[in-house]
């Protein structure tokens, strides 16, 4: 699995996949820059009147619930159904799901209409997709009395999608196999958009392969490793602003060699 993920870095640089993202206005610029930094080509079209045409040109579609409203939902449904019909991978980031009934109800309705190859969220968000009763405030699975790995495996089977659970230890599962990535730095939680950027990276890798499990591993681990590398360069008088810039720098420098040297990847053996 490590080799499969590592080989995707060169494919992204060579193919420059077009990643259509209907995302939130807080992090749209960060998502576009992360996509560019790893070698993809972002397009952030969100009008219901043109998303179908844009999806037809794309290699992957990312739907992000961060600042969801009725217009965005309409665009997401149109884009998602178009992508499904064309076998274009669709990735969901259920930002904030569980925080309000509107957000939770709408994401579940979208799940009933659109097939998602990959879903990435924190533990609370993923649990909410499964019908769990929790309020989303960046909660990690340690507070839910379940490991990220176990939650990812359960969710993958229930939601019939590859699941990525972000946290102190990221987990990726297809329901049969579960991988754990033990990289990252606490500063990633102090910069807006790192979760959204992670999903953008996953979408970019998904645009060059049909091995979505490997794409999910490559995407989430790239963010975690880049966070470590960016933090390691900070001086005492430098803070989160400098870290944010160096995070994009680290993503832009990521390649197979660096990734294989830095990644802390293991597979959870099912009971």
Question: Tens digits of per-residue pLDDT, 51-67?
Answer: 999 999 999 999 999 99
What's residue 139's pLDDT?
A: 45
Q: Is the pLDDT of residue 136 over 70?
A: no
- Mean pLDDT (whole number) for 237-264: 96
Question: Tens digits of per-residue pLDDT, 198-240?
Answer: 999 999 999 999 999 999 999 999 999 999 999 999 999 999 9
Read off φ and ψ for residue 194, nearest 5 degrees. Answer: -70, -30
Residue with token string 């790995």: 149
Question: Tens digits of per-residue pLDDT, 71-96?
Answer: 999 999 999 999 999 999 999 999 99
Higher pLDDT, 131 or 22: 22
Tokens of 180: 């754990």
CB-CB contact of 4 with 172 (8 Å): no
SS3 93: strand
Q: What span, in angstroms and rounded, lies between the C-alpha atoms of 222 and 215?
A: 11
Question: Tens digits of per-residue pLDDT, 172-182?
Answer: 999 999 999 99
Q: Is the pLDDT of residue 141 over 70?
A: no
Lateral strand order in the sheet of 162-166: 41-43, 18-22, 60-64, 90-93, 118-122, 162-166, 170-173, 178-181, 265-268
CB-CB contact of 255 with 9 (8 Å): yes
- Mean pLDDT (whole number) for 91-115: 93
Q: Average pLDDT of the chain?
A: 92
Q: Is the pLDDT of residue 168 over 70?
A: yes
The rounded percent of the chain whose pLDDT value lies above 70 is 93
Q: Is the pLDDT of residue 167 over 70?
A: yes
Beta bridge partners of 119: 92, 163
* Per-residue buried b or exposed e for 140-175, using 16+ beta carbons within 10 Å of the residue's own CB: bbeebebbbbbbbbbbbeebebbbbbbbebbbbbbb
Q: What angle do CA 143, 145, 151 make, to 5 degrees?
A: 100
Read off φ and ψ for residue 114, nearest 5 degrees. Answer: -125, 135
Instruction: Tell me the Ramachandran region of residue 82: left when phi exceeds 0, alpha when psi lies from -120 to 50, beta otherwise.
Output: alpha
What's residue 4's pLDDT?
A: 86
CA distances in angstroms from 114 to 63, 86, 89, 90, listed in the order given: 11, 12, 11, 8
């Amino acid at each position: 699995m490590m080799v499969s993920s590592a080989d995707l870095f060169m494919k992204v640089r060579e193919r420059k996949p077009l990643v259509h993202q209907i995302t939130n206005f807080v992090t749209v610029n960060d998502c576009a820059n992360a996509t560019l930094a790893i070698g993809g080509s972002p397009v952030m079209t969100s009008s219901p009147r043109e998303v179908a045409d844009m999806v037809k040109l794309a290699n992957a579609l990312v739907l992000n619930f961060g600042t969801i409203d009725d217009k965005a939902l309409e665009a997401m449904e149109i884009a998602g159904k178009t992508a499904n019909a064309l076998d274009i991978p669709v990735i969901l980031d259920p930002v904030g799901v569980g925080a309000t009934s509107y957000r939770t109800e709408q994401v579940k309705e979208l799940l009933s209409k659109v097939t998602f190859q990959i879903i990435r969220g924190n533990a609370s968000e993923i649990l909410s997709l499964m019908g769990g009763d929790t309020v989303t405030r960046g909660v990690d699975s340690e507070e839910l009395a379940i490991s990220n790995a176990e939650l990812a495996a359960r969710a993958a089977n229930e939601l019939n999608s590859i699941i990525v659970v972000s946290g102190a230890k990221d987990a990726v599962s297809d329901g049969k196999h579960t991988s754990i990535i033990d990289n990252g730095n606490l500063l990633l939680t102090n910069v807006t958009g790192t979760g959204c950027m992670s999903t953008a990276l996953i979408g970019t890798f998904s645009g060059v392969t049909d091995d979505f499990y490997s794409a999910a591993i490559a995407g989430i681990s790239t963010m975690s490793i880049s966070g470590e590398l960016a933090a390691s360069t900070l001086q005492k008088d430098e803070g989160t602003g400098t870290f944010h810039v160096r995070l994009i720098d680290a993503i832009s420098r990521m390649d197979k060699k660096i990734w294989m040297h830095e990644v802390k990847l293991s597979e959870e053996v099912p009971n």
